[in-house]
């Protein structure tokens, strides 16, 4: 009799475990259904939900960045469309509207590039103005994602002005704060210039459906405790893509990666005569340079100069995203560094020695400058090319 009772107890316990497991699974499914419904109800502006979802899928999964967002959690921010995407294992978890960003024309514009989540604060006091920012998540150095700021009196800020931080609603800021953990990846980017937006007679340096803007012109980056501003624009590609001359001109210089490339790697500089003025376009970090082009050669606009790569910084096509270096296992930082300037040089055109060198002395600047690049002989490539 005792063995029979023991068997009944075992069977009862087993049945109870099965019921508990079923109940837990049921609750999870209910939560999952609620989350899916919440995602589907998320809208931006007046765009219909289904159109929005289709647009987001096209935006994320057809861009070169798609091969780098498969971590457990990541954030993707499109500053062109002002959308922020919370991603779980590369899939959209939630979409959020970015309400305000920093002005594109000033040094404290919202930075674009690869970043990792830094510190998080439920309430952060601004170091610039006397306001408090709820649910602040650090993107890079002094730049955060946060809710609507308010004054010490509790009054909400109504100004659209931003010192470079990305402002979202309080509810969305809390969602981001709760979602991310320190060192989760954040990708902030702008979409490519459409070919049809290019001025007549000019060419996109890379076809518009093949790149996205990793780092914008004048975008700030803190290096060695000093804010430097990007003197060109970085066009990132998933594969090695053709790089084309933006306008008819003459091959002014070809620099192959070595001791004198100053980090630019394989680089081509083209001279252009446009409206009785002389400009130079610079194409750096190339994987290869076309064998058929020679210094002094006259070329047509659209001539292929080489292919996008990751050359420079002492690495021959091995410069990496993340812990940048030649021997890392991270993804290649494949992109075109593209500049428009007034002199055929790798450094800043005006010759000012304002950048700190490795020896601690001031010297010329390469790719970055400590003030607005327009003051150093650079021209915004995007405004130069577009109608």
Condensed to tens digits (0 to 9), the pLDDT of residues 344-367 reads: 999 998 878 888 877 778 888 899
pLDDT of residue 260: 83
Tell me how far CA of residue 32 lies from CA of 25, 49, 84, 295, 299, in angstroms.
Answer: 10, 19, 21, 61, 58
Highest mean pLDDT among 30-39, 55-64, 291-300: 291-300
pLDDT of residue 134: 97
Residue with tokens 């000093």: 226
pLDDT of residue 273: 97
* Sheet bearing 368-369, strands edge to edge: 220-223, 226-230, 368-369
Domain ranges of the chain: 49-187, 192-385
Distance CA 105, CA 112 (A): 14
Distance CA 352, CA 340 (A): 17
Q: Name the percent of the chain in helix, strand, coil, to the closest 5.
A: 20, 35, 45
Q: What is the mean pLDDT of the chain?
A: 82
Q: Is the pLDDT confidence value at 285 over 80? A: yes
pLDDT tens-digit profile of 74-96?
999 999 989 998 988 877 889 99
pLDDT tens-digit profile of 223-242?
767 788 999 999 998 889 99
Residues 200-216 as b/e (b if ≥16 CB within 10 A, e otherwise) read eebbbbbebebbbbbbb
Q: Is the pLDDT confidence value at 31 over 50? A: no
Q: Give the pLDDT band (50/70/90) at residue 305.
A: very high
370: helix, strand or coil: coil
Residues 281-315 as b/e (b if ≥16 CB within 10 A, e otherwise) read bbbbbbbebbeebeeeeebeeebebbbbbbbbbeb
Joined tokens for residue 29 = 């499914």
pLDDT of residue 363: 87
Selected from 3.40.50.880, 2.70.70.10, 3.40.50.2000, 3.40.190.150, the CATH number assigned to the domain covering 192-385 reads: 2.70.70.10
Task: Characterize the bridge pairing of strands 233-236 and 212-215.
Answer: antiparallel
Q: Is the pLDDT confidence value at 262 over 50? A: yes
H-type alpha helices, the chain: 2-41, 49-61, 170-179, 381-385
pTM for the structure as a whole: 0.81
pLDDT tens-digit profile of 94-145?
999 999 999 887 767 899 988 899 999 999 998 778 899 999 999 988 899 9
Selected from 2.40.440.10, 2.60.40.10, 2.40.50.140, 3.40.50.150, the CATH number assigned to the domain covering 49-187 reads: 2.40.440.10
Residues 35-59 as b/e (b if ≥16 CB within 10 A, e otherwise) read eeeebeebebeeeeeeebbeebeeb
pLDDT of residue 223: 72
First-to-final CA distance of the chain: 92
pLDDT of residue 56: 52
The secondary structure of 230-250 as a DSSP string is: ESSEEEE-SS--EEE-SSSEE
Distance CA 62, CA 209 (A): 9
Which residue, 288, 330, 346, 379, is CA-closest to 114? 330
Q: Is the pLDDT confidence value at 147 over 80? A: yes
């Amino acid at each position: 009799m005792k063995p029979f009772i023991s068997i009944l107890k075992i069977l009862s316990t087993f049945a109870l475990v099965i019921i508990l497991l079923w109940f837990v699974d049921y609750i999870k499914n209910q939560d999952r259904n609620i989350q899916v419904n919440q995602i589907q109800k998320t809208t931006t502006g007046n765009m219909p939900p289904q159109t929005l979802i289709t647009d987001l899928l096209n935006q994320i999964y057809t861009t070169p960045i798609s091969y780098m967002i498969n971590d457990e959690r990541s954030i993707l921010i499109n500053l062109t469309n002002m959308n922020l995407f919370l991603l779980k294992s590369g899939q959209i978890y939630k979409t959020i509207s970015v309400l305000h960003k920093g002005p594109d024309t000033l040094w404290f514009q919202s930075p674009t590039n690869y970043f990792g989540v830094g510190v998080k604060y439920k309430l952060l006091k601004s170091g610039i103005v006397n306001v408090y920012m709820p649910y602040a998540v650090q993107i890079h150095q002094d730049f955060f994602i946060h809710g609507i700021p308010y004054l010490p009196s509790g009054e909400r800020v109504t100004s659209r002005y931003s010192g470079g931080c990305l402002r979202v609603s309080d509810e969305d800021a809390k969602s981001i704060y709760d979602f991310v953990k320190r060192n989760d990846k954040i990708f902030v980017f702008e979409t490519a210039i459409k070919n049809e937006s290019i001025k007549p007679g000019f060419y996109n340096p890379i076809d518009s459906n093949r790149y996205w803007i990793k780092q914008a012109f004048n975008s700030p980056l803190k290096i060695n405790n000093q804010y430097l501003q990007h003197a060109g624009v970085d066009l990132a590609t998933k594969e090695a893509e053709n790089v084309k001359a933006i306008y008819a001109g003459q091959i002014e210089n070809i620099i192959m990666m070595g001791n004198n490339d100053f980090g630019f790697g394989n680089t081509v500089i083209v001279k252009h005569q446009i409206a009785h003025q002389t400009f130079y376009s610079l194409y750096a970090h190339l994987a290869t340079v076309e064998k058929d082009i020679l210094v002094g050669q006259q070329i047509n606009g659209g001539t292929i100069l080489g292919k996008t790569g990751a050359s420079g910084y002492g690495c021959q096509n091995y410069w990496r995203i993340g812990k940048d270096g030649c021997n890392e296992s991270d993804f290649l930082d494949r992109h075109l560094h593209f500049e428009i300037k007034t002199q055929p040089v790798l450094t800043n055109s005006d010759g000012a020695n304002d950048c700190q060198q490795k020896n601690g002395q001031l010297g010329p600047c390469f790719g970055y400058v400590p003030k607005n690049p327009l003051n150093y002989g650079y021209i915004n490539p995007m405004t130069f090319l577009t109608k």
